[in-house]
């Protein structure tokens, strides 16, 4: 696996990122998913961090997201938190949608070869982290897959995604201004193979790390 980017905001700032837009923050409050810090954004503003990584035609993005705010009361795009691009061309936008009373959905918008919106209804709780993983394949028979907490929820396959040469920019935060609330992002990884949620790490991988640590302790 080639890991293009891996950051959980533990620098306490955005120094690992290429830049920021608006006023996102790195905070040590509100229970980060992992470590001490995570990104915090106001979801009625457009404010996010972004990274430019080595262009690839096979791109996986894994992150953790949570949101806290009042139910907007009607159909609303609540929060768009992930945008994958080639330079400034949108490839994928992912967000949280309030579809009806008590109905919350992941909105999965894929842009190549033309825009398609797909929705996945799930049990959503405010102030709770969810693991999301995206797969994008640039090919004449291209593909998009989306996984929530490690389970495939949506896909779009067999479509020509060669209008771009690959993906090389990731934005996370409040990538589009939406409903008032607070959003958090943590544990962001970009790679060319499945990353999985942190809790999904296989037993063999865990044993590998355990044995390395054990050897170190024993000297
Ligand atoms: Ca963190
Ligand atoms: Ca802010």
- Cα 40 to ligand 2 centroid, rounded to whole Å: 7
- Cα 181 to ligand 1 centroid, rounded to whole Å: 20
Domain ranges of the chain: 3-218
Are residues 79 and 40 in contact, defined by beta-carbon separation less than 8 angstroms? no
Does pLDDT of 204 surpass 60? no
Q: Could you read off the pLDDT of 92-126 as tens digits, one per residue?
A: 999 999 999 999 999 999 999 999 999 999 999 99
Q: Which residue has the higher pLDDT, 49 or 209?
A: 49
Does pLDDT of 207 surpass 70? no
Q: Is the CATH number of domain 3-218 2.60.120.200?
A: yes
Are residues 140 and 187 in contact, defined by beta-carbon separation less than 8 angstroms? no
Measured CA to CA, the distance from residue 116 to residue 32 in angstroms comes to 32
Quick one: tokens of 35?
Answer: 């470590």
| Closest ligand by atom to 187 CA | 1
Does pLDDT of 200 surpass 80? no
- Cα 82 to ligand 1 centroid, rounded to whole Å: 17
Are residues 46 and 175 in contact, defined by beta-carbon separation less than 8 angstroms? yes
DSSP 8-state assignment for residue 55: E
pTM above 0.85, yes or no: yes
Phi, psi of 169 (to 5 degrees): -135, 135
Does pLDDT of 215 surpass 90? no
Measured CA to CA, the distance from residue 76 to residue 101 in angstroms comes to 11
Does pLDDT of 137 surpass 60? yes
């Amino acid at each position: 696996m080639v890991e293009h980017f891996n950051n959980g905001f533990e620098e306490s700032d955005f120094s690992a990122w290429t830049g920021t837009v608006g006023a996102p923050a790195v905070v040590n409050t509100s229970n980060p998913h992992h470590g001490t810090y995570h990104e915090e954004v106001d979801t009625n503003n457009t404010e996010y961090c972004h990274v430019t990584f080595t262009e690839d035609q096979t791109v996986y993005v894994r992150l953790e997201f949570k949101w806290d705010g009042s139910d907007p009361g009607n159909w609303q795009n609540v929060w768009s938190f992930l945008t994958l691009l080639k330079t400034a061309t949108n490839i994928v936008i992912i967000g949280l949608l309030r579809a009806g009373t008590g109905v919350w959905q992941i909105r999965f918008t894929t842009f190549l070869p033309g825009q398609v919106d797909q929705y996945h209804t799930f049990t959503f709780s405010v102030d709770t982290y969810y693991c999301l993983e995206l797969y994008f394949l640039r090919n004449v028979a291209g593909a998009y897959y989306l996984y929530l907490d490690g389970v495939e929820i949506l896909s779009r396959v067999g479509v020509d995604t060669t209008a771009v040469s690959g993906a090389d920019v990731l934005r996370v935060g409040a990538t589009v201004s939406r409903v008032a609330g607070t959003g958090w992002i943590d544990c962001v990884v970009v790679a060319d193979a499945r990353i999985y949620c942190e809790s999904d790490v296989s037993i063999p991988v865990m044993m590998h790390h355990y044995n390395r640590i054990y050897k170190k302790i024993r000297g």
